[in-house]
Amino acid sequence: MLSSLTMLMAIDAWAVVLITLFPALLVGFGAGYIAYKTVLKKKELDAETQHAKVIEEARQEAKTIRKDALLEAKEEQIRLRNEFEKESRDRRSEMQRQESRLNQKEDSINKKEEILDKKIENIDRTRKELETKESELKALADELGKANEKILAELEKVSGMSRDEAKDLIIKEMEEQAKLDAVNIVKEIEKTAKEEGERRAKNIVALAIQRCAVDQASEATVSTVELPNEDMKGRIIGRVGRNIKALESATGVDIIIDDTPDVVTLSGFDPVRREVARLTLQKLVADGRIHPGRIEEVVDRIRRDMDANVKEAGESAVFDAGVYGIHPELVKLLGRMQFRTSYGQNVLKHSLEVSYIAGLLAGELGADVKLCKRAGLLHDIGKSIDHEYEGTHIQIGVELARKYKESEKVIHCIEAHHGDVEATSVEAVLVQAADAISGARPGARRESLEFYIKRLEKLESLANSFAGVEQSFAIQAGREIRVIVRPEQVNDAQTEFLAKDIARKLENELEYPGQIKVNVIREVRKVEYAK
């Protein structure tokens, strides 16, 4: 009950407060509302005033802009009008000038037409005169033709020959005369050119050979070793042949022991191996100790010394030739050529000689001396290993030169020095000539008797294959072919052409160093007996 009473008292207190404050709240609300309405009305009046002011300012600004725009438009109109008037005046001036030029051209054309009309009149007059003269000439030609027919008919009666027969006879005589004249002219030209060419060529070649002082040695294709006595052969063979087998196995060379007294023959494709075997056998014979272990030891030592000697020989050759910048591998291959021979001629010495001669010829003719000497020294480089690879020494040499970065000019000289390809440079021709000079001079090379006889027989058979040849003889060791023709089948003029044809066929079908002289002989013999 006490709590209920307390709650009722509290409610009564809140009711008294509310009743007291409610009139005050109503008065405050009414006053606020009146004040709000007053302020709102004032703001509306201010906004209307500001709006009218803004509209008036906008109207004034629009009038100003309009005046400015009208002024600018008038100025632009005046400017465009001035430009148009100026352009119109310029165009009128240009049209007046063009009209003046056209009038001048028209006057010039009229004058040219008048001149052309006069020329046409002259041409017509000249044409009529030419037609008249042509008619007169035609009439004269007809008269001459009739007179010529009469003369030819009289000539046919007098000579007893027809017109065609007389024509053939005249043509034949003219052909014979023309051939004789041509032969005489050709002979004279060739004689002069040959004399001058031979004189200059002999001087140049003689000077080159005279200034070249390379020693030549003719070496055999097999090596021999002299022994102090016959008992040494048995020691070389050894018990059950073990020494000779060990020697052949270590050197790669065949050792031939026959009945030849105090001599052992060494045979092998590789000249370096053959030289190693020769030096090894000499060392063993001098030392006296010959057994498989000693053989292998000596072969290894000789092979090391041989590599050094080969390199030294190549460097010496390069120095002697005055050629520098050659790849070290090519230098070694040059050194190997001192053990290589071709037709009995040492290949390294031959290459040095070709280098010297080619350089001297180039100096005389104004060609590239360094290129000729370099190409001459390397032209047979393929022979150093041609026994190890397939192909000719030219093909191998070209591959080696290209492999070791030689220039294309040097490669072309190597490729063309035997005529396998056509020489396209002066230096290639000079190397080719120097190679022929070195190989063709007397005593430079040896060739077998059988090959020599076959070459001479081939030379004679080629000459005998031509019509009108009675017999031929190869003389001067194949340097000259003497051809005797039948005089009733070949006349003097035809001998000249026959000699050229034979020479051309020899060039195409034979390979030979130097040159071959073709001597065609025609003679008429008449024999009578006094009784």
pLDDT tens sequence across 82-92:
888 888 888 88
Dump pLDDT digits (tens) for 152-191: 777 767 766 666 776 777 777 777 777 777 777 777 777 7
Q: For the residues 491-511, what does the mean pLDDT come to? A: 85
Dump pLDDT digits (tens) for 416-469: 888 778 888 889 888 888 888 777 654 444 444 556 677 788 888 888 999 889
Is 531 domain-assigned?
no
Q: Which of 74-83, 89-98, 512-521 has the lowest mean pLDDT?
A: 512-521
Tell me how far apart the alpha carbons of residues 202 and 384 are, in angstroms, rounded to a whole number. Answer: 33
Does one domain contain both 51 and 186? no
Is 215 domain-assigned?
no
Query: Does residue 390 surpass a pLDDT of 70?
Result: yes
Q: Burial code of 272-286, b = ≥16 C-beta within 10 A, e = fewer?
A: bbbbbbbbbbebbbe
Is 122 domain-assigned?
no
Does one domain contain both 185 and 231? no
pLDDT score for 214: 43
Is 130 domain-assigned?
no
- Please identify, among 113, 141, 176, the residue that sits at the C-terminal boundary of a domain: 113
Tell me how far apart the alpha carbons of residues 324 and 265 are, in angstroms, rounded to a whole number. Answer: 39
Does one domain contain both 285 and 431? yes
Does one domain contain both 93 and 202? no
Is 149 domain-assigned?
no
Rg (CA), the chain: 60
pTM: 0.44
Tell me how far apart the alpha carbons of residues 413 and 403 are, in angstroms, rounded to a whole number. Answer: 16
Query: In sequence order, what are the residues at sequence separation of 6 or more whose Cβ sits closer than 8 angstroms to the Cβ of residue 97?
Result: none
Does one domain contain both 22 and 91? yes
Q: Which of 194-203, 255-264, 454-463, 506-515 has the lowest mean pLDDT?
A: 194-203
Query: Does residue 259 surpass a pLDDT of 80?
Result: no
pLDDT score for 408: 92
Q: For the residues 188-207, what does the mean pLDDT come to? A: 69
By C-alpha distance, which of 432, 441, 417, 412 is closest to 212?
A: 441
Query: In sequence order, what are the residues at sequence separation of 6 or more whose Cβ sits closer than 8 angstroms to the Cβ of residue 385?
Result: 333, 336, 396, 400
Does one domain contain both 282 and 390? yes
Does one domain contain both 102 and 230? no
Is 140 domain-assigned?
no
Query: Does residue 348 surpass a pLDDT of 70?
Result: yes
**Domain residues for 38?**
1-113
- Total domains in the chain come to 4
Is 277 domain-assigned?
yes
- Please identify, among 405, 440, 475, the residue that sits at the C-terminal boundary of a domain: 440
What CATH code is carried by the domain that includes residue 492?
A: 3.30.300.30
pLDDT score for 483: 92
pLDDT score for 288: 79
Does one domain contain both 505 and 360? no
Is 279 domain-assigned?
yes
Query: Does residue 395 surpass a pLDDT of 50?
Result: yes
Does one domain contain both 478 and 456? yes
pLDDT score for 312: 85
Does one domain contain both 167 and 252? no
- Report in angstroms the alpha-carbon separations of 13 from 8, 20, 464: 9, 11, 169
pLDDT score for 23: 64
Does one domain contain both 61 and 90? yes
Does one domain contain both 203 and 260? no
pLDDT score for 7: 64
